[in-house]
Chain A
């Protein structure tokens, strides 16, 4: 989203999106918010992060060799049905131009 207004690929103006603008306002322009509230939010955030990480750390994983073999099997099983991979004749592909009829 930073480059929303950019049409020239050779330069990219940095556009601060809403989220970082809000964070900036939060951290600078609200002195009346008690530091206790701020640290309470930090604790809640840290708690949520710990819980999330516990969930992620506990999932079952398989080896990359097995995962890769399965991905390769899927590709080879379906390869012959993949028109963009195999190329299909013009007669089967509605987007390819059929040979024009010659009217004698």
Chain B
């Protein structure tokens, strides 16, 4: 799409190198073709105009605030949720966890390179995998329940099939699927065990074929490390959202690789993004100590979850089954439950002894699991 030809501008020469000939080698470097009358300055002006137009268009539709519409909804009482299980076994910070679709198993990964598959009902450790790298920042359970994916500082994301044979060394069957040029910060299977979506400190997201390791699609647009991604609920089609250190949350079309929507209202790194259960909105958690809620059809931020007393970064968010509650984990060791519609805080969950790295509601909504730098996971219900 780049034209390597000089266009003659009004003065009869290329605005970039002053050459009067249309020739690639004339100015020693391929001159990115400028359309007639186009200069760097005119492109920058168009950028600014488009950004203004975007703001105007979004502003026109901002006829009311979400919390105002929600005034007629009943106020939520404090949640009667407390710790029901403490999963001990990791020797270092737990960085990530994911539930299995069977609602009882979960996988967790840690700074010491260990990945553990737990039965959350019985606290039984069903599998343990030792990876050669430290800081396993991402882990995910396959939809079939027969494999897990994990990755981190090794710049890779690998898939490990889970064997029924407890004596088998699972690490030996580990298969590298994703290869990034910097750490892998997040991963998720798509709707089958066959495809893996990853995001990385190299600023990109990527879709991989698990069997062949082939890169199916890459997603470029973030200008800094991507820290989190989430797949849209299956009814809403092939999109996903990502968030990162450029303070942006981007929505992508998985098939074309196109960035379809972008939101920039956070004041610091976005650590986590998560879709609302209907797929029409998503929430984000950021180092700016706020969580925010964006509606995709209104194309704007519709709520900010913040309090003057909350000064530490939020690292993770997840919705309850109906989407009414947003659980957010913070670096001050607490989990806050927010009323998504009214924008108020409903409960604070205390218990962890170090920062929260991940919160996830179980697939049937009966429990919340939290992973922490205090080396444990907790189940709240």
Binding site for B on A (CB under 8 A): 1-4, 7, 9, 17-20, 34, 36-37, 39-40, 42-44, 46-47, 49-50, 52-57, 59, 61-72, 74-79, 81-85, 87-88, 92-97
Q: Could you write out 9 A-B pairs with CB less than 8 Å apart? A: A9-B312, A17-B245, A43-B32, A47-B43, A61-B299, A74-B323, A82-B365, A83-B321, A96-B84
Q: Is the CB of B269 within 8 A of A94?
A: no
Taking CB atoms, residues of chain A closer than 8 Å to B121 are 94-95
A99 CB, nearest partner CB in chain B, Å: 15
- B81, B313, B324, B368 pick with most chain A CB within 10 angstroms: B324
Take A7-B373, A84-B320, A95-B379 as given contacts and tell me if A57 and B16 are in contact as well, using a CB distance cutoff of 8 Å.
no
Taking CB atoms, residues of chain B closer than 8 Å to A37 are 29
**10 smallest beta-carbon distances between A and B, as pairs:** A78-B322, A53-B50, A82-B322, A46-B43, A68-B69, A67-B298, A95-B381, A95-B84, A67-B295, A82-B321
- Categorize the interface residue count of chain B: 35 or more
Interface of A is mostly: helix
Q: Mark the stretch among B55-63, B159-167, B169-177, B209-217 that contacts chain A.
A: B55-63
**With A and B bound together, what is the CA distance between A71 and B245 in angstroms?**
28
Taking CB atoms, residues of chain A closer than 8 Å to B300 are 64
Q: A65-B64, A68-B64 are in contact. List 12 more A-B contacts (CB 8 A).
A: A18-B201, A36-B29, A39-B40, A50-B46, A56-B262, A61-B299, A75-B322, A83-B365, A84-B365, A85-B324, A95-B381, A97-B84
Binding site for A on B (CB under 8 A): 2, 16-17, 27-32, 34, 40, 43-44, 46-47, 50-51, 53-54, 57-58, 61-66, 69-70, 73, 76, 79-81, 84-85, 104, 120-121, 135, 182, 185, 201-203, 221, 223-225, 227, 245, 258-262, 269, 276-278, 280-281, 287, 295, 297-300, 302, 312-313, 320-325, 331-333, 340-341, 354-355, 361, 364-368, 373, 379, 381
